[in-house]
């Protein structure tokens, strides 16, 4: 059974096998989570990602993690360059990230709140979608042992904690 945790803090400092980047489909790493990952892990992450792009919105690709403690960064395209997202894009990006983790054979994965920063998607709705997708995916055959939802702000942390309790994760 896969353990799911909620953590308040900076995703770039976590010791997990992979972290998810809330990416645009061109895989350029500008602001928000992507900018923090580039700053902490090095510009090589973005250079490697851009070579793999563009990708379809909702898809995910992996790169190395540079100076980060994680082994990989999984870049989940949750929006195009217009920085607009919706429930379907977040759902597909979450699912694609989980599939990428299994493809890589990793045991622990950390997600930010996809689409809630630059994409301005409501945090409570993102929590409902992402937690639902993780629970549905990990109910099946997966090598993932731990999924951590990492929230930078206290309100986002509380929203995800409430939703995890509500969905019984």
**pLDDT value at residue 19:** 98
What is the band of 160 on the pLDDT scale with cuts at 50, 70, 90? Answer: very high
Average pLDDT, the chain: 97
The mean pLDDT of 46-52, rounded to a whole number, is 98
pLDDT at 31 over 90: no
pLDDT at 169 over 80: no
Share of the chain above pLDDT 90, in %: 95
The mean pLDDT of 118-138, rounded to a whole number, is 97
What CATH number should be reported for the domain whose range is 3-167? 3.40.220.10
Distances (CA, A) of 106 to 61, 73, 103, 127, 165: 14, 12, 8, 23, 26
The mean pLDDT of 89-110, rounded to a whole number, is 98
- From CA 121, how far away is CA 157, in angstroms rounded? 15
Q: Tally Cβ neighbours within 10 Å of residue 103.
A: 12
Domain definitions of the chain by residue range? 3-167
Locate the DSSP E strands across 71-131. Answer: 72-79, 108-111
**pLDDT value at residue 142:** 97
């Amino acid at each position: 059974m896969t353990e799911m945790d909620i953590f308040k803090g900076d995703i770039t400092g976590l010791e997990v096998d992979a972290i998810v980047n809330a990416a645009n489909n061109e895989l350029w790493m500008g602001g928000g989570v992507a900018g923090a990952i580039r700053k902490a892990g090095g510009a090589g992450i973005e250079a490697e990602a851009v070579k793999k792009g563009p990708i379809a919105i909702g898809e995910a690709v992996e790169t190395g993690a540079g100076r980060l403690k994680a082994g990989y960064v999984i870049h989940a395209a949750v929006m195009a360059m217009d920085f607009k997202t919706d429930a379907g894009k977040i759902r597909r990006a979450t699912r694609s990230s989980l599939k990428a983790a299994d493809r890589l054979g990793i045991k622990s994965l950390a997600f930010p709140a996809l689409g809630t920063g630059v994409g301005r998607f409501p945090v409570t709705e993102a929590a409902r979608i992402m937690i639902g997708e993780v629970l549905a995916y990990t109910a099946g055959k997966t090598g993932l042992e731990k999924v951590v939802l990492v929230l930078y702000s206290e309100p986002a942390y509380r929203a995800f904690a409430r939703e995890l309790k509500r969905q019984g994760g």
